[in-house]
Amino acid sequence: MIPYQEEHRIFRRTLQAFLQKEILPFVDAWEKDGIVPRSAWKKMGEHGFLCPDVPEAYGGAGADFLYTVIVVEEMTRTNHCGLSARLHSSVVVPYITAYATEEQKRHYLPRCVSGDCITA
C-alpha cells in the first residue's frame, strides 16, 4: 500500500474545505427535493474531485488510488447520498476505463472527469 504523502493531505484539506462551502449547505434541500443539481457535479469536476485516477490522456489527473480513497472517505463524512461521486468515480467509471473501446474512452472519460456526464 502507498503511504499517504503531503500531496494527499493537501488534497484532503482542499476537498474538506470545498465540501464545507459548496456541498454541505445544500444537502438538506437536495435530499428534500430528491435531486442534486448538475452544477454541484460540475463544481466537483472543476476542482478535480471526480475520477482522480482517470489517466491524463482522458482528462483525469492520473492520480494514485489513495486520492480515490480520500474522496470516498470525505464524501461519506457529509452523510448524504444524493451526490454519489463515490459510485460515479469508484465503481462505474473504472469499468469504462478498463473495458471501453478507445473511442468510447475518448468520448466518455473527459466528460465523466468534468461532471458533464454523470454515471451514477
**pLDDT tens digits, the chain, 120 residues: what are they?**
678 999 999 999 999 999 999 999 999 999 999 999 999 999 999 999 999 999 999 999 999 999 999 999 999 998 887 888 889 999 999 999 999 999 999 999 999 999 999 997
Distance CA 86, CA 78 (A): 12
Instruction: Check residue 82 and give its pLDDT.
Output: 83
What is residue 1's predicted lDDT score, i.e. its pLDDT?
62
Q: Which residue type, as a one-letter code, is found at position 82?
A: G
Q: How many CB atoms lie within 10 A of CB 49?
A: 26
User: Would you give the end-to-end CA distance of the chain in angstroms?
Assistant: 28
- Residue 105 C-alpha cell reads as 474512452
Q: How far apart are CA 55 and CA 65, in angstroms?
A: 12
DSSP letter assigned to residue 96? H
Confirm whether pTM is higher than 0.85. yes
- How confident is the model at residue 120, as a pLDDT? 78
Look at residue 61 in the predicted model and tell me its pLDDT. 97
**pLDDT given for residue 18 in this prediction:** 98
pLDDT for position 97: 97
